[in-house]
Amino acid sequence: MSDYKNPMGESPHQVPVLTKRFGIENSASIDVYLQHDGYKGLEKALTMTSDQVIDEVKKSNLRGRGGAGFPTGMKWGFVPRQSPKPKYIVCNADESEPGTCKDRPLIEKDPHQLIEACIIAGWALESHQGYIYVRGEYRYLIDILDRALGEAYSKGYLGDNIQGSGFKFNLYTHTGAGAYECGEETALLNSLEGLRGFPRIKPPFPAIVGLYGAPTVVNNVETLANIPHILLNGGEWFAKLGCERNGGTRLFCLSGQIARPGIYELPMGFPLRKMIYEVGGGLRDGKKLKAVIPGGSSCPVLTADEIDVPMDFDSLGKIKSMLGSGGVIVIDEDTCMVKLLQRIMQFYAHESCGWCVPCREGTAWIKKLLDRFHAGFGRPDDPDTVADIAGNIMGKTLCPLGDAAAMPTLSIVSKFRHEFEEHLRLGACPHEKAPAPVS
């Protein structure tokens, strides 16, 4: 068990579903899990047909928590039931999006919740084998998961004859090497097969041709963790926790210049303004809000005038941003948006796998240009050049990493153009103190 500080924040607005066992001593053990509704969702699922389980997930309006927000029940429904090949369940625990840190405590504090979810998914999709692919920097979580898997096998929840049902399901852990690109599902599958983490051309999609060329469902940790609760309490119950077309709760990672940073479990559709000022306690030191990144560094930024919006996939989409992975980064008045974009592009230029020319060349080009610009050597046409490069990356790559780099770039250049112009006028960053003169 790690010694990092518990990141879970406290707020009366929280609706604990995924986190309801977090405060219980030894919550990672199977004995504690079984005392608090553990594996009851699986027991119920085993009395249902696979179609009935999938229909329940569809009713729940659960959408992917990894970033794209695709309806989970629909994704499961794409898997061909009559395929002669084996089918696989893959859990994406490659949590690498800057600003996002919610899958880590789900595994650390309640690993059996995830294991139960994978088994239910296996029953629903008539799969007998699954993998939990863990981010390279989270390797200590492998020990926690392996210990929990051993407990599940010993209690008969994994193996050849789960709880006397005749259903067989085996689940394994696998660690990546710390590549952001492997958070993309097809690059993850390549990595899982022992290949380089390059994305695959789609279609075909993994539901048809996935791991080892067989039908595969890839779901994020938080997405899967909801499954036992949906089966135990019903899809309609889960749907009502959230808002229209966005069922359930969401783990929002509130960070940046905020008074009470932390991970908060709130209903889907929770107002962003309320999240910042009531849940998060407002900005530190009484500063004014300048901007918000609503769903991790790949999302288009919102200005202070755009925060009266419900935090769900559809509402943010209407104002040309994204809920993404739920990483809410609060930015105050003293932050240089040029430097923020420079830092974002340093990350994407470093993490680009190099498979696509627009992403490989474009991210590096923007990063170099912003390094020069922020250092005080900017040119009048630089903001337009940055936007033009980003526009030529957008939609022209095999995976979403190119878009992830382009979207915040285009939004920051568009919404904070005046800061670029101020850098040009001053010949330096107005938010950084000039060095003291040498006497």
What pTM does this model have?
0.94
Q: What letter does residue 376 receive in the DSSP assignment? A: I
Q: What is the pLDDT of residues 212-224, one digit of tens each?
A: 999 999 999 999 9
> Range(s) for CATH 1.20.1440.230 in the chain?
337-426
Can you read off the two tokens belonging to residue 393? 């990356």
pLDDT for residue 434: 53
pLDDT for residue 82: 86
Q: Say if residues 75 and 207 touch (Cβ distance below 8 Å).
A: yes
* Residue 354 exposure: Cα atoms within 13 Å on the Cβ side: 3
Q: Tell me the percentage of the chain whose pLDDT exceeds 70.
A: 97
pLDDT for residue 322: 96
Q: Tell me the percentage of the chain whose pLDDT exceeds 90.
A: 91
Alpha carbon distance 382, 361 (integer Å): 17
- Name 309's Cβ contacts closer than 8 Å, sequence gap at least 6: 271, 272, 302, 315, 316, 319
pLDDT for residue 9: 75
Average pLDDT over residues 302-318: 97
pLDDT beyond 50 at 2: no
Which spans in 133-193 are helix H? 139-154, 185-192
> Range(s) for CATH 3.10.20.600 in the chain?
249-332
Distances from the Cα of 280 to the Cα of 16, 20, 67, 190, 297, angstroms: 17, 20, 22, 39, 19
Interstrand relation of 327-332 and 289-293 (parallel, antiparallel or unpaired): antiparallel
Can you read off the two tokens belonging to residue 136? 């390279």
Alpha carbon distance 152, 154 (integer Å): 5
Q: Say if residues 383 and 425 touch (Cβ distance below 8 Å).
A: no
Q: Say if residues 328 and 294 touch (Cβ distance below 8 Å).
A: yes
Can you read off the two tokens belonging to residue 235? 């899809």
Three-state DSSP state, 348: helix
Alpha carbon distance 59, 51 (integer Å): 12
Q: Say if residues 409 and 373 touch (Cβ distance below 8 Å).
A: no
Q: Could you tell me which of 284, 297, 278 has the C-alpha nearest to residue 101?
A: 297
Q: Give domain 249-332's CATH number out of 3.20.10.10, 3.40.640.10, 3.10.20.600, 1.10.357.20.
A: 3.10.20.600
Q: Give domain 337-426's CATH number out of 1.10.260.40, 3.90.1300.10, 1.20.1440.230, 3.90.1150.10.
A: 1.20.1440.230
CATH class of residue range 30-241: alpha beta
Instruction: Tell me which of 117 and 9 has the higher pLDDT.
Output: 117
Question: pLDDT-based confidence at 354, cuts 50/70/90?
Answer: very high
> Range(s) for CATH 3.40.50.11540 in the chain?
30-241
